[in-house]
Amino acid sequence: MQNSEMKYGVRSKDYVSRAKALLNESTHESLIYTALELRAGIEARLKEFFDAQAETTEKKRKGWKISKLAAQVENVINAGEKCVKLTTIDELTNTIIAEVWYTPVLPELRKMAEKLGNYLHSIEKKIQKMKYGGKNLSNFLKQCWTN
Identify the pLDDT of residue 133.
Answer: 44
Residue 71 bridge partners (DSSP) = none
Strands 96-102 and 84-89: antiparallel
Asked, for residue 53, whether it belongs to a domain, the answer is yes
The pTM for the full model equals 0.69
Asked, for residue 66, whether it belongs to a domain, the answer is yes
Asked, for residue 94, whether it belongs to a domain, the answer is no
Asked, for residue 91, whether it belongs to a domain, the answer is no
Asked, for residue 72, whether it belongs to a domain, the answer is yes
Identify the pLDDT of residue 96.
Answer: 92
Identify the pLDDT of residue 103.
Answer: 83
Asked, for residue 88, whether it belongs to a domain, the answer is no
Residue 120 in this model has a pLDDT that exceeds 80: no
Check residue 134 and give left, alpha or beta (phi > 0: left; psi -120 to 50: alpha).
Answer: beta
pLDDT mean across residues, the chain: 78
Distance CA(137)–CA(36), nearest Å, equals 12
- Per-residue burial over 48-69, b if 16 or more Cβ lie within 10 Å, else e, is ebbeeeeebeeeeeebeebeeb
Q: How many domains does the chain have?
A: 1
Asked, for residue 125, whether it belongs to a domain, the answer is yes
Asked, for residue 7, whether it belongs to a domain, the answer is no
Confirm if 16 and 41 have CB atoms less than 8 A apart: yes
Give me the domain span that covers residue 142. 12-78+106-146
More confident residue, 41 or 29: 41
Distance CA(61)–CA(69), nearest Å, equals 9
More confident residue, 98 or 59: 98
